[in-house]
Chains A and B, each alone.
Chain A
């Protein structure tokens, strides 16, 4: 268990440090790279908890798709981030004050927070224990049975997102020459060539 504890502290430490660097890095590209490092560390934490399926999903979806998309956006947008940060120090005192007041309020609220005893049993973990089934199997058991309605609904949401993206951005520009394979293949020599006899010194009257 010592190894697991060491691994936990390494992953957790890297995750926190990288998350801090996401907001502290001057170069936005570096921020996105730190974000990817945070995702990797979080995936490591998932593996330590025995949720390797979630860890892989996190890597594939967040690192593979979302973070790369961020990277593209950051690199393609010509935003001067240095000017956005101007005045940061000027507003720091008032920001810190507001943050401190919020923190105090939260301490006061959470300090008096009482959780009703009868809700404790309801909040017990509803999944089967990890010893019985692997986590991928546990998800698979309910995904297409108990949660089929939500799963299909999520599919409809994605379909609408796709239609929306196409409706709002796809434009058929005029004057663009597109390849038409049927027209190319169906073209015959007679359509394209005309053989004329040219008398010496006469030329061709009309084209």
Chain B
């Protein structure tokens, strides 16, 4: 009788921390009862910090764990740190809101911790099973937080809609996975890549790959799988929307890159077509559909669809340079997004939150600092130099041009110009329209700290961009060492 050895837990140290810590916070909340939100919330932020330290402490090389089911490399490190930052910021931003809206139940931070656990598992997945487990853990927690305001019709509708469509996307992903497994005989990414080499890829694997692509495109809300995004963003409580727009998107893009580069490096020519299409469609729809929106959260939903399109431009190039561009894009997008949602959280009057963009009229007279910061984020999202958003777009488009994707780059830049219209309209409303009723409720202290930090980052990114760029270069190189040689036109 052989006794199984304890597997090496080093590569999943951060996941273990979140899993055990999350359960501990759940117990803490259950025993303390109501009113434990702040305690559990700060506990969750502490956990994210601890997990980030553990991630950064991982060796700078590729480590496999659990019979190759998970992988830990600089790419995973980079993405995991981004996700942990995004989740920590989301928890910090939500505490005050939840108290004001009488939603202060301790399960909220616990669910965010478990969602983050799922995202870390997605980033580390090196196997179709690990991919699906992480994705489901993340999605299930997100469905619940979307309808966290269960007495609001719109919040429950958004949760239900997200759940039904998410289940459909999971079904497509599973169908694709089963085809890939059936035709390659394995669920492990490198083994799938191996099975797909030789003279031509089996049609079944290609079929499965497209279904997996569709499932993943749903999770990043890329066109044509974006239908859920505006309704869910509008209906969910505002800090939940802020969370949705950042960390889960980053995790899904990371998974997207991992699957395409890890499992299907031989099929670049095939998936490139698909990624180019959804990237163009997302950029164009994000730019045009946002023009008619009056609700700031719906507008941000279309904006995030567009931004995911821009991020996918980097992946479409299929090179290490493109991946580096995606990583830089996501880092900057995370920061800008946190800042914008802090500003949206400030749109509060005594009677409650307001979401219509016309309510912002004349903000520059009442609260000049807030108006300036809001306008600065809008310029940055539109990609106007020297703000950080410009550099984000710059790196993905340079990669796309180096990969000879001229049409993609031109359409991307043009849709970015169209998108600038609705960002700048918000600036116009704030600075040049007749003042509406002012927002008298001041921002909570922790939200203003997040707002300050993110606006400093956005303004002063151009002073010292090299740290982020070199980190992204290392991360991208670790991932695509095998794939670069394959790419070629």
Contacts and interface: CB of A to CB of B under 8 A. Distances in A.
Interface of A: 113-116, 118-119, 121-124, 126, 144-150, 152-154, 156-157, 159-161, 163-164, 166-168
B210 interface: no
Interface stretch (B139-147, B273-281, B387-395): B139-147
A102 B148 CA distance: 41
A157 B136 contact: yes
Contact of B185 (A114, A122, A145, A164): A122
Contact of B133 (A123, A145, A150, A163): A150
A160 B70 contact: no
Contacts of A148: 7, 66
Contacts of B291: none
A164 B12 CA distance: 25
Given A159-B114, A163-B111, A168 B150 contact: yes
A119 B143 contact: no
Interface string B189-205: 00100010011101110
Looking at chain A's contact residues, the main secondary structure is: helix
8 contacts: A121-B185, A123-B182, A124-B185, A146-B66, A152-B19, A157-B133, A160-B137, A163-B107
Contact of A160 (B111, B130, B202): B111
Given A150-B69, A168-B147, A160 B141 contact: yes
A125 B4 CA distance: 23
Contacts of B147: 168
B182 to A, nearest CB: 7
Given A149-B69, A156-B137, A167-B144, A118 B198 contact: yes
Contacts of B140: 157, 160-161, 164
A168 B144 contact: yes
Contacts of A145: 4
Contact of B114 (A126, A146, A154, A160): A160
B144 A123 contact: no
A167 B110 CA distance: 11
A40 B41 CA distance: 48
Interface string B1-40: 0001001000010000001000100100000000000000
Nearest to B108: A167
B375 interface: no
B157 to A, nearest CB: 13
Interface string B50-85: 000000000000000111011000000000000000
A127 to B, nearest CB: 13
B117 interface: yes
B134 interface: yes
Interface string B80-115: 000000000000000000000000010100110010
Contacts of B228: none
Given A150-B133, A153-B121, 11 more contacts: A113-B204, A116-B198, A116-B199, A122-B185, A146-B66, A157-B133, A157-B136, A160-B141, A163-B111, A167-B111, A168-B159
Contacts of A160: 111, 114, 137, 140-141, 144
Contacts of A161: 140
A55 to B, nearest CB: 22
A119 B137 contact: no
A164 B111 CA distance: 8
A166 to B, nearest CB: 8
Contacts of B111: 160, 163-164, 167
B195 A119 contact: yes
Contacts of B134: 153
A156 B141 CA distance: 10
A150 B107 contact: no
A124 B111 CA distance: 41
B461 interface: no
A163 B185 contact: no
B170 to A, nearest CB: 12
B114 A113 contact: no
A114 B19 CA distance: 45
Nearest to A126: B185
Given A150-B130, A167-B107, A167-B111, A116 B137 contact: no
B87 to A, nearest CB: 15
A147 B23 CA distance: 22
Nearest to B182: A123
Contacts of A168: 144, 147, 150, 159
B204 A163 contact: no
A148 B12 CA distance: 13
B284 to A, nearest CB: 30
A154 to B, nearest CB: 7
Contact of A123 (B67, B117, B159, B185): B185
B183 interface: yes
Residue from A114, A115, A144, A163 whose CB has the most chain B CB atoms within 10 Å: A163
A115 B183 contact: yes
A115 B201 CA distance: 9
B184 interface: yes
Contacts of B137: 153, 156-157, 160
B186 interface: yes
Contacts of B198: 116, 118
B468 interface: no
A145 to B, nearest CB: 4
Contacts of B107: 163, 166-167
A144 B70 CA distance: 16
Given A122-B186, A148-B66, A113 B19 contact: no
A150 B129 contact: yes
A164 B110 CA distance: 11
A164 B23 CA distance: 14
Interface in B123-174: 129-130, 133-134, 136-137, 140-141, 143-144, 147-148, 150, 159
A75 to B, nearest CB: 23
A114 B200 CA distance: 11
B4 A163 contact: no
Given A144-B4, A145-B4, A163-B111, A119 B183 contact: yes
